[in-house]
Structures are given as structure tokens and as C-alpha cells.
Structure 1
Amino acid sequence: MLQQQTQNTQPPSTPSFQIPAYVLDDLCSRFIINIPEEERQDLIRIFFQIELAHWFYLDFYCAEQPELKTCGIKDFSAQIFHHCPSLSGHAQEVDKILGNWKSYKMSVPTYGAIMLDPEMKYCLLVQGFWAKASWGFPKGKVNAGEPPHECAIREVFEETGFEVSRLINQEEFLENRMNDQLTRLYIIENVPLDTKFQPKTRKEIKSLQWFPIDALPAHKRDQSSKTQLGLNPNTFFMVIPFIKSLRKWVGNRQNLSEASQTATIRPSSRPRSATGGKSTKDTDNISNSNRQYKEKQKLRQQQYFSQMNQSEYQELLHLKDSKTRAREARDRKQQRHEQSTTQGYASPNYKSDKNQQFHILNRDGTVGGKPRRSLATQFDNQGNYGNQYQPGKYGNKSDRRQRTNDQNTSIENFVPPSWRNFRLDVDSVLACIG
């Protein structure tokens, strides 16, 4: 009972799938046991061998034997350390060694190539085998003591099957440093678009494709790849750091090519002057060609910068439009408020006629009495009626009683006795209307 319980209990680091012992024996003998003694003492170097063994396990054993399951580098390295006698003493430190190996691996320089077609309008990108892998240039990590350009030639051949040793120029490359890792890509020109690429590694490169350089994003907010290719900019996050420099390099190379073509036009049949110099016609033709070349160069630069800043300019316009709409909405609200406040006073339909007169309606329904002027004529320019209370007249707070009496007197003077004693005779009004 105790033995059965011990067998069912697995350590936390034990993987769910156990690789057969004969497979581990073969992998250890191929990649670990026969390495030099000085490299066997370095656990970081051993992990590079374990990575090769892991790829071999996935490419051959799992592909040919369906009963074997795939696993990650963490589970695979743990089983290798437990199985190999020379590594079993470090089996409890696998996670720590794996972390150190990943940190060191990120600092190893990578070298590759940017392959361009003869017209320098397309570049070749490769996609990793794993799901949701992004597109990138063919490249890989350098081996110890390996020259950079030879590393680029080797990696391009492994990932594309194309030999670039005769086309590579060690002086033409683009570099970028990200997270303390140097990436150098040599520019390879004149690669035919109909080239049949065949990767030499298994389950590393899923697909290869030519992409227009103008359609690739230059920054993470550039939506040109979304509109032209139907792919999000995040799909090209490994390509983005090189696009601006690549476009600049292509533009300079095209300008140099056009300039060299213009300079090589030297027809021998053109007449020359008696002194051996160029004729006036030759000078005019050269000046016209130079002027046309400068105009083409200026137009190309304008198109280049217009395309580079198109997305940023659209975002800026959208931001300005939103601010303008908000400001216009506030102005309309303020205008409606002012119109509602001044309605009846500043409205053009309002007319103040001081000469308008009113009559008194008698109880019997007849209109009579002395015509009275508009109430507006009974006020002075300050809005006061007769000797009414004026603002500011009673500055002392103790004169409140006198102020109240004056106000009452003003009200009596304002309302005549005939109006105060007026009573509406409803029957007389109805009879008059009928």
C-alpha cells in the first residue's frame, strides 16, 4: 500500500508525459555525452546542446512515432537532466539554469539578410512554424568564433535554401539593438521573384513570402499593412525596426543608379567645338537632364515623406476634428443661451412705442375714459416713477422705516384710484361680446 502511494505521488517538477528511456539514451548519446570536456563543465553550453536535442526530438521522433507527445524546452530539459548521469547532480537546479540560459541567449548577436528583388520593391520574409508566429527576416544566432557574414550565409541557407555567398556585401547591412541584443541584416540584391525556396530545417520555417516594402508598417500604429495586406502591424513587430532604414537605403540606391545612368550617356557622334570642348547643345542637354533628375528626386522624396507621415497625419486630423466639433458645440450652446436671455429685449420683433395709448373698459362693456399713455412714458431715464425710491438713496441701514413708507407711497402713486376700485362686470362684458 505504501509502495503504491509512493508510485502515484510525483514531484512537482515531474512532467505529465514521460519520454521513453530509449529515446533519452539516443538523444544524450547524440548531443551531450560526446561533447568536449571543457564545454561539458559549462551548463550554459550544455543547454544549447539540449536545445538541439529538443529540435531533433520534435522533428524526427514525434513526426515518425505518433504515440510520442510534444513538449516544451522546460519539460524536455528536466527529463534530460534526470536521465543523464553527468547532469543528474544539477537536476534540482534546472529552472535556474534554464533562466540563465535564456538571458544569455538573448544577448547573443543574430545575423541574417534582407533579400530584395531586382527592382527593390519586394523583400522576402519567413514565418515560424508555431501557431500565430510573426513574420521576420531570415536570421539566427552566431556560433562561437563564427564571423558575422558567415553566420548570415548559414542562417539564410538553413531557413530558405538559397545560397547568398556570391551576392552578399559585407559593407551593406542594417543594424538594430533591442533589449541588449544586436541584430545585423545584410542587404542582398537581385534575388529573382520566381526563386523556389526550400528550407533545410524541419518544423522551423512554415512559409516564405515576398512582401511589398511600401506595404510594411514603419511603426506599431502604422495601418498600411492592415489596409493593403489585411494583416495587423503586430504581425510584423520583428520587421518594424528596419523598415524606415530599408526605405531610406532603397531610395538612396535608386538615386545613385539613376545618376550613374545619366552620367554614362556620352554619344560619340555629338559635334564638339574646335577647341575640343563640349558644344552649346551638349551643355544644354546635360543641364536639362540634371534638372529633370533633380525634379524626379524631389518628387520621389515628397512621395516618400507623404507616405511615411500619412497615418500620423490622419490621426492628427481626427484629433483636431474632434476638438473642433467640441468647440463648435460649446459655441452653439452659448449662442442659444444668449438668445434665450435677450429674447423680448434684444429681439428684432420687439418694438417699444412710447406714444402707444390705452383706453379704459367700463362696466357696461363700453370703452371710454381719458386715453392713457403707455406705462413706459411715466418713468424717467433712470427707470424711476415720480418721487419713487431710488437705488442708493438710503445708504444708512437705520432708515429702513422711511424707505418702506416711500415705497408704499410710490405704489399708491403708480396705481390710480380708478384702477384700484375697478371691478369687472362679467354680464356686461358678455352682452357686449354677444
Structure 2
Amino acid sequence: MSANMPNANLLDDLCTRFILNVPAEELQSVEKLMFLVEQAHWFYEDFCRDRDPSLPSLSLKAFAGMIFRHCPGLAPLQNDKQAIFAQFSAYKQAVPVMGAILLNAAMDKCLLVRGFKEHASWGFPRGKLAKDETDVECAVREVKEETGLDIAELILEDDRIERHIKQQRSKLFIVAGIEETTQFQPQVRGEIGGFAWHYVAHLPASEEASMHYNNTEGARHRFFQVAPYVSQLRQFVKRRKAQQQRGKKKKEKDRAQPSAVGEAEICGHAQPAETQSIEMVKEPGQSWLNFTFDRAAIMQSLAMRLSA
């Protein structure tokens, strides 16, 4: 093992912080265990490497392998780590995703966020639905975490686009009227690396178009799950502008005819799109599904390590 790799003390701290000190019910399945390992991985990437830049950046798969090897109670998972990781990846893809499409006042531009790494893709602010959250609560939380903007008082449940990609339900609420001068600031570390307003008319409306999209400097512009929403977004903008124009004409007519009373605003609804079929992850082996988490073995091992 390289001198730059996480040492035993750091791995002990990560295991204790994220795996041992959790309620027993959080360790009842391999999927739940892997979510804990994923949280430990985020902490390692965001904080441990910040304190010690000599530590290497690790993929979740490589990091999980290190945790399995280091923690004796997880040793039975070693031989099935490939199948476990494939199953966990498929499980995460089935968790619903919520977010928002933020439009400027003219509704001709929308905000996209870029992942933290330099060549990361651009996409709408969004994230996975947490336990006991409503769709709206998740969208508000994710937008605030990724942009710093609180849309709780702006979001309308009927202004949305809903898609199904693979087995994952995804819903983006459309929020118009955001000032382009807004100073966005992510509330989470190591996740968002940039913000940019993009013209709705210029966004690719198909995955094929995404492959050929270039930015203003002529370089390839990478998108993540933007194309599936573009056609519905353009239809929403067209309807909303038509509604605004009708409302404007009605107000002008009312001013010209003082006896007329009442105004009616027609609220548009973004219709769910067709399900997009994407090849499923192949079913992994099943030998590890009856695995029982040996909490006592981990505690005993760490106690011996700390007393040594």
C-alpha cells in the first residue's frame, strides 16, 4: 500500500464515525450498509483530503473495497464486492430524483449547475429523494444545497416536468422569475463547481444533439440528463408566455372598461413525458444476500486496535 493511502487510524475513524455509531436498523441490509459507506466516502473526499492533500482521490468502488478489507465484520463481503456494488448502483438508480428548472424573468434562460470536477457535466439542480420527504421538500432541499437559493415560497406543484428513465422517477419543478444577477453559492462541499445561465432555445432536445453540442468557445459541452426535459420545457414556456400575453390584454381591456371586474389567470400544467427505455444493470449473484452484519466483531477488533 502506498504511503499516501489512508492509514489504519484514518480508516478506524471513518468506520467508527459512519458505520459503528448508527442505529441497528441501519445495518439490516447491504444496501443500507453501502449508503453508510458512501457517506464515509464523501467525508473522506471533502474533508480528509482537504486536511491532507497527499491523500489520493478514490472512487466509491475502490473506497468500499478498503473499508471491507479493514473492518473484520465486513470481511464476508469481500468475495462478492463486485456483485454488491452492481446491486447498489442499480438500487440507487431506482430512488426517485427531484429538483428544479430555474428560469429568468424573460423565461428565455435557465440555470444549469456543473459538477465539481473541471470536465464534469452540466445539469439541472437535483438530487435523490430522502426517507419521509415529499417531492417538493426534496426539490427545495436539493436546490438550496446546490445553489444556496431557497425556492420554498416560489415553487408551484403543478408547474413540473416528470420523466421515468430506466426505473427511476424524476420530477423537476419549474420556477420562473429568478434574477440573473443572483449570487449562487453551494451549501455542500465538493459537489458543485460552477453555475451558468443557458438559453432554453439553444439546449439540445435529444441525446444525439447533446453529443454534438459545443459551447461558445467551440469546445464540447457536456450535459447530464438535460435533453429529456427540453421539449417539455419549451412547451411550458410557450404556454406561460401566451397566458401572460392574454392576461396583459385583459388588464388593458379592463382599464379601458372600468365596469369590467375580475381577472382570471389560466395555469398551465407540464405533462409527464413518455418513459425512456434504458438497458438495465444485469442481475448480480445472490450468495451474499443473507449476509448478517457482525457488529460485535468490529467493536472487538477496534477495541483491540485502540488498546494496542
The aligned residue for residue 197 of structure 2 is: 210
Alpha carbons 1:167, 1:188 under 8 Å: kept: yes
58-67 vs 261-270, which moves further: 261-270
> Which of 128, 135, 138 is the aligned partner of 1:141?
128
Equivalent residues in 2 for 1:134-213, closer than 5 Å = 134-213=121-200
Q: 1:115-126 residue pairs with structure 2 within 5 A?
A: 115-126=102-113
Cα displacement string for residues 364-394 of structure 1 (whole angstroms, at most 9, x for unaligned residues)? xxxxxxxxxxxxxxxxxxxxxxxxxxxxxxx
SS in 2 for 1:87: helix
- Match for residue 294 of structure 2? none
Picking from 238, 258, 262, the partner of 1:251 is: 238
* Aligned-partner Cα distance in 2 for 1:72–1:181: 23
Residues 1:245 and 1:25: Cα distance change in structure 2 (over 3 Å) = same
User: Which residue does the alignment assign to 1:100?
Assistant: 87
| Residues 20-50 of structure 1, C-alpha deviations (whole Å, 9 max, x = no match) | 1111111112211122212212110111111
Contact kept, 8 Å, 1:15 with 1:75, in 2: the verdict is no
CA-to-partner distance for each residue in 1:268-288, whole Å, 9 max, x for gaps?
67699xxxx9xxxxxxxxxxx
Contact 1:215 1:225 in 2 (8 A): no
Query: Are 2:118 and 2:193, in contact at CA under 8 Å, matched by a contact in 1?
Result: no
Q: Percent identity?
A: 37
Q: TM-score, normalised by structure 1?
A: 0.56
CA 1:26–1:165: 2 relative to 1, 3 Å: same
Matched, 1:40 2:27: yes
Tell me, yes or no, if the aligned pair for 1:107 and 1:181 is still in contact at 8 Å. yes
**Residue of structure 1 equivalent to 2:214:** 226
Q: Secondary structure at the match of 2:246?
A: helix
Q: One-letter code of the match for 2:44?
A: Y
2: distance between equivalents of 1:22 and 1:221?
48
Q: For residues 175 and 29 of structure 1, do their structure 2 counterparts lie closer, same or farther at Cα, with a shift above 3 Å needed?
A: same
CA–CA distance in structure 1, aligned partners of residues 173 and 256 of structure 2 = 43
- 1:109 equivalent to 2:99? Answer no
Amino acid at match of 1:179: K
Asked if the contact 1:215/1:229 (under 8 Å) is kept, the reply is no
Residues in 1 aligned to 2:28 and 2:254: alpha-carbon distance in whole angstroms: 71
Residue 220 of structure 1 contacts residue 237 of structure 1 at CA under 8 Å; is this kept in 2? no
Are 2:53 and 1:57 aligned? Answer: no
Q: Could you tell me which amino acid in structure 2 is paired with residue 180 of structure 1?
A: Q
Question: Aligned pair 1:71/2:58, yes or no?
Answer: yes
Question: Would you say the 8 A contact 2:93–2:168 is kept in 1?
Answer: yes
Taking the aligned partners of 1:220 and 1:265, their CA distance within structure 2 comes to 43
Structure 2 contact 140–150 (Cα < 8 Å) conserved: yes
The reply to whether residue 239 of structure 1 matches residue 219 of structure 2 is: no
- Offset, 1:84: 2.4
Letter in 1 for 2:162: E
Counterpart-to-counterpart distance in 1, 2:243 and 2:258: 28
Provide closer, same or farther for how the CA distance between residues 268 and 88 of structure 1 changes in structure 2, counting only shifts above 3 A.
closer
Shift of 1:93: 2.1
Give, in whole Å, the separation in 2 of the partners of 1:76 and 1:83. 11
Number of residue pairs aligned between Structure 1 and Structure 2: 259
Higher RCO (CA-CA < 8 Å; seq separation 6+) = 2
**Amino acid aligned to 1:155:** E
CA distance in 1, matches of 2:169, 2:160: 13
> Whose Rg is larger?
1
Does the Cα contact within 8 Å between 2:5 and 2:55 map onto a contact in 1? no
Counterpart of 2:174 in 1: which secondary structure?
strand
Aligned-partner residue type, residue 39 of structure 2 = L
1:240-259 CA-to-partner distances (Å, cap 9, x unmatched) read 11111100000000000110
Distance in 1, matches of 2:163 and 2:258, equals 53
Q: Amino acid of the residue matched to residue 142 of structure 2?
A: E
Q: Note the residue ranges of structure 2 that are not aligned, 5 or more in a row.
A: 261-308
Root-mean-square deviation (CA, aligned residues, Å) is: 2.5
Greater share of helix: 1
Partner secondary structure for residue 17 of structure 2: helix
Going from structure 1 to structure 2, the CA distance change for 1:140 and 1:227 (only over 3 Å counts) comes to closer
In the superposition, the TM-score normalised over structure 2's length comes to 0.77
